Amino acid sequence: MAPPRATLRSRLAVLLPLLILAGLAFGSYYLLQIGLPSSQEEAAKPLTHTADAFATDLTVSMLDVTGITHYRLNAATMVHYEDDASANVTLPALRGFTPGQPDVTAFARRGTMNGDQSIIDLNDQARILRAPGPTDPAMEADSEHFRVLTNDDIIESEKPVKLQRGLSVMFGDSMTYHNATRQMFLYGRVHGQIAAHEPTAPVPSK
């Protein structure tokens, strides 16, 4: 015996909305899946030298093995890149701290640093200032480029350098400065004038 028509209609009235909702859900899921990249496409997509982070008025501290600040970098702006974690900075000021030694600060109009901050390049009107010590006068070096090797505590330049130490002024085609030992080496056509007597910092009274 066939079921009454009213019963079929009531069942269809209940099932039809459910079928429509199931179809919409399946269609949305299908469209979402075809729109997403596959795992192989994601793995094959290489990182590009594209900026992925920006900062202004930043400060970056680099610590030594004991956790004490060894270098501190201040800059007006920074642009960070996703492929190699390098960064470009403007108006960088890099200060080095060595226990028992005068502070050394390097400035420039622009700079770059690699991903682990072990190499910092300072470009355009670059300058190094070393504060006077108990027996050494202040020192200043000027060039168009300085490279700071933070792990080795060395500053070098392949560009011409003007060095002023107290009253002495020297010029060289390139330079290497060892911050830990305060030794400066000039290379190439070195010339200048060395003062007979250099001023020293006054000894504080007891």
pLDDT band of 203, cuts 50, 70, 90: very low
Which tops the pLDDT comparison, 13 or 150? 150
The alpha helices in the chain, defined as continuous H runs, are: 5-35, 39-44
**DSSP character at residue 49:** S
pLDDT band of 152, cuts 50, 70, 90: very high
Taking only the tens place, the pLDDT of each residue in 25-45 is 666 666 566 666 666 555 567
Which tops the pLDDT comparison, 201 or 138? 138
For the cut 90, the answer to whether the pLDDT of residue 176 exceeds it is: yes
Residues 106/94, Cβ–Cβ less than 8 Å? yes
Taking only the tens place, the pLDDT of each residue in 95-145 is 998 888 888 999 999 999 999 999 999 999 999 999 988 888 899 999 999
- Dihedrals φ, ψ of 202, to 5°? -65, 140
One DSSP character per residue, 43-91 reads HHPPP-S-EEEEEEEEEEEEE-TTS-EEEEEEEEEEEEETTT--EEEES
* 120 closest CA partner among 171, 73, 187, 76: 73
For the cut 70, the answer to whether the pLDDT of residue 62 exceeds it is: yes
- Mean pLDDT rounded to a whole number for the chain: 84
Region 155-165 average pLDDT: 96
Taking only the tens place, the pLDDT of each residue in 161-173 is 999 998 999 999 9
For the cut 60, the answer to whether the pLDDT of residue 205 exceeds it is: no
pTM of whole model > 0.85? no
Q: Cα-atom radius of gyration of the chain, to the nearest Å?
A: 32
Q: Give me the amino acid identity at 1.
A: M
